[in-house]
């Protein structure tokens, strides 16, 4: 360590996020120094750091972990010590941060009432489930990763109310205990995730009967009496991802469909898996969903966050992140903080913005085409009418039925840098309404999208029917 020069200013002592304390799952620690340009050296074994100690890398965070001994919880303590150095200044004081990772037993659950009649259940791995009790019925969303008696735990919360069990998607940290409910209650999951769930049943020896999983589709409504939830499909993180919206309160229960953003885990929307849709397709999935629920979402709870997200602010950031990757390509990617073999696009400051958003991807397969060659729509709407079939970027032919003699058409390009967007040869602005006069009978609209480099043009056909 450098000798102290009494005439020199002293480097500020490092600080840490999260603050010292006890946690129940793995934490990753971010070290900070208020002195610009200072280098932070640290240790994780309680020894005194020096200039020879590891240098803090903001993309390779110190990991504080504890692994269950079989089904039993364990506790492990860490002492991180940190020193900040800068040429021409005296070294900082050594800062010390004490942490305990206290894993719960794998069969344990805890719950907290986060809204009137809404309990958040947390399992040993910090996966979140939700019990919503209405005046007439109750609903459980997701079944966690734990191996305890979740059914008994839930039944204590809902009493004798009839119960529906809704699974947001088929990943193992959301389905482990669903089999406990299948002989007693109706269990729902989008069947697009059945092939995936079958692999997990075999690989992880989960006791789940696929024949007792009812299909969960967009537009289904779970009426609990004094409140109800509508199902929306938001594929991406998995093919069968769904979210549930209480339109009266604005509460969205989102599973993993739009990711999470805990600071010290750290979280993101995980889209790095093999076979997951490209981000330009997910951008469409997100936009189509948002167009349907515009202005209705106030708060979002999901599969991993400890606190609610501010609905529109977080979704704006998530959409911006996807748009940034679509427009600029892999140049905008930074190393993922978890897992470290992925990459991510980030909008917002993880440490200061409660609604920051990140999307994890795998380089080389995160887009369907190079950014300059993306020539798709991310949404197509006819105001006041539903498209048949529902919009997806790779479906190019649609019909819609309207009552009047005009139609308000809104076409949104996937790339904000698309060279042109034409409706029947006339240029229109992406995302803005185009008023179209309708002929008697069917009126056909040809919608042409040209990629930023002009090398690709995609044509969509929309037939609007009167009456």
CATH of the domain at 217: 3.60.15.10
Shared domain check, 287 and 226: yes
Would you state the pLDDT for residue 316? 98
Residue 145: band (very low, low, confident or very high) from pLDDT cuts 50, 70, 90: very high
Residues 323 and 202 in one domain: yes
- For 26, the token pair is 């793995």
Which of 46, 67, 102 represents a domain boundary (last residue)? 102
Please indicate, yes or no, whether residues 397 and 347 belong to a single structural domain of this protein: no
pLDDT tens string 310-351: 989 999 999 999 999 999 999 999 999 999 999 999 999 999
Mean pLDDT of 92-96: 99
Q: What is the C-alpha separation between 45 and 100, in angstroms, rounded? A: 13
Q: Are residues 351 and 460 in the same domain?
A: no
Give the mean model confidence (pLDDT) for residues 61-65. 97
pLDDT digits (tens, 9 = 90+) for 405-462: 899 999 999 999 999 999 999 999 999 999 988 988 899 999 999 999 999 999 999 9
223 and 286, same domain (yes or no): yes
Q: Is residue 5 part of a domain?
A: no
Residue 372 lies in a domain: no
Mean predicted lDDT score pLDDT of the chain: 96
pLDDT at 203 over 50: yes
pLDDT at 404: 86
Alpha-carbon 15 to chain mean position: 29
Q: Which of these three, 102, 134, 159, is where a domain ends? A: 102
38 and 127 both lie in a single domain: no
Q: What integer is the mean pLDDT of 162-166? A: 99
User: Could you give the percent of the chain with pLDDT greater than 70?
Assistant: 99
Please state, for a pLDDT cut of 90, what percent of the chain lies above it: 94
Lowest-confidence segment of 90-94, 186-190, 198-202, 272-276 by average pLDDT: 198-202
Looking at the predicted structure, is the pLDDT value of residue 36 above 60? Answer: yes
Q: Which two tokens stand for residue 457?
A: 């043009």
Same domain, 92 and 119: no
Q: How many domains does the chain have?
A: 3
Distance CA 40, CA 33 (A): 7
Neighbour count for residue 5 (Cβ, 10 Å) = 12
Give the pLDDT score at 7: 62
Q: Is residue 182 part of a domain?
A: yes
In a domain, 370, yes or no: no
Q: What is the CATH number of the domain that holds 98?
A: 2.60.40
**Can you list the positions of beta strands (E) in 386-432?**
397-402, 406-413, 420-423, 426-427
Does some domain include residue 327? yes
Evaluate if residue 309 carries a pLDDT over 60: yes
Q: Which pLDDT score, from 0 to 100, does residue 295 have?
A: 86
Residue 196 and residue 87 in one domain:
no
Q: Are 257 and 397 found together in one domain?
A: no
Residue 6 pLDDT level (bands cut at 50, 70, 90): low
| Residue of 150, 152, 155, 145 whose CA lies nearest to 206 | 145
Domain end position, chosen among 71, 102, 133: 102
Tell whether 203 and 292 lie within a shared domain: yes
Verify that 274 and 316 share a domain, yes or no.
yes
> Is residue 368 one of the residues assigned to a domain?
no
Which pLDDT does position 267 carry in this prediction?
97
Is the residue at 272 inside a domain? yes
In this structure, the answer to whether residues 339 and 440 fall within a common structural domain is no
Confidence of residue 219 (pLDDT cuts 50, 70, 90): very high
100-141: pLDDT as tens digits = 999 999 999 999 999 999 999 999 999 999 999 999 999 999
**Are 38 and 12 a contacting pair, CB within 8 Å?**
yes
Residue numbers of the domain that contains 276: 110-361
pLDDT at 8: 79
Radius of gyration for the chain, computed over Cα atoms and rounded to the nearest angstrom: 25
- What pLDDT is attached to residue 205? 86
**Token pair of 369, please?**
């085409």
Residue 446 lies in a domain: yes
pLDDT at 1: 46
């Amino acid at each position: 360590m450098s000798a102290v020069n009494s005439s020199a200013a002293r480097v500020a002592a490092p600080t840490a996020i999260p603050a010292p304390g006890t946690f129940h799952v793995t934490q990753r620690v971010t070290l900070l120094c208020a002195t610009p340009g200072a280098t932070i050296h640290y240790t994780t074994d309680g020894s005194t750091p020096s200039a020879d100690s590891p240098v803090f890398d903001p993309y390779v965070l110190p990991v504080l972990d504890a692994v269950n001994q079989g089904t039993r919880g364990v506790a492990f303590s860490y002492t991180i010590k940190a020193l900040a150095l800068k040429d021409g200044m005296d070294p900082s004081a050594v800062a010390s941060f004490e942490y305990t990772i206290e894993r719960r037993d794998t069969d344990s659950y805890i719950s907290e009432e986060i809204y009137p009649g809404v309990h958040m259940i947390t399992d040993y791995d910090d996966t979140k489930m939700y019990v919503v009790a209405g005046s007439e019925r109750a609903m459980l969303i997701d079944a966690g990763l734990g191996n305890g008696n979740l059914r008994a735990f839930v039944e204590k919360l809902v009493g004798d109310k009839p119960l529906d069990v809704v699974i947001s998607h088929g990943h193992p940290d959301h389905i482990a205990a669903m089999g406990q409910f299948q002989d007693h209650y109706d269990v729902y999951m989008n069947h697009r995730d059945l092939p995936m769930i079958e692999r997990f049943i075999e690989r992880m020896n989960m006791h789940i009967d696929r024949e007792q999983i009812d299909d969960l589709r967009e537009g289904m409504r779970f009426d609990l009496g004094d409140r109800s939830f509508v199902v929306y499909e938001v594929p991406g993180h998995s093919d069968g991802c769904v979210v549930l919206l209480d339109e009266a309160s604005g509460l969205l229960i989102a599973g993993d469909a739009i990711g999470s953003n805990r600071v010290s885990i750290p979280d993101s929307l995980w889209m790095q898996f093999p076979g997951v849709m490209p981000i330009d397709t997910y951008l469409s999935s997100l936009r189509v969903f948002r167009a349907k629920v515009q202005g209705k979402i106030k708060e979002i709870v999901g599969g991993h966050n400890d606190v609610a997200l501010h609905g529109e602010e977080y979704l704006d950031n998530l959409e911006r992140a996807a748009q940034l990757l679509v427009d600029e390509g892999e140049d905008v990617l930074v190393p993922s903080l978890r897992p470290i073999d992925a990459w991510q696009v980030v909008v917002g400051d993880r440490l200061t913005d409660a609604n920051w958003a990140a999307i994890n991807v795998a380089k080389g397969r995160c887009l369907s085409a190079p950014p300059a060659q993306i020539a798709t729509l991310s949404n197509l709407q006819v105001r006041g009418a539903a498209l048949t079939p529902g919009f997806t970027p790779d479906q190019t032919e649609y019909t819609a039925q309207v009552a009047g003699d005009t139609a308000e058409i809104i076409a949104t390009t996937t790339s904000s840098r698309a060279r042109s967007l034409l409706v029947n040869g006339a240029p229109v602005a992406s995302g803005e309404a185009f008023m179209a006069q309708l002929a008697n009978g069917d009126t056909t609209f040809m919608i042409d999208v040209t990629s930023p480099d002009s090398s690709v043009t995609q044509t969509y056909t929309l037939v609007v029917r009167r009456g």
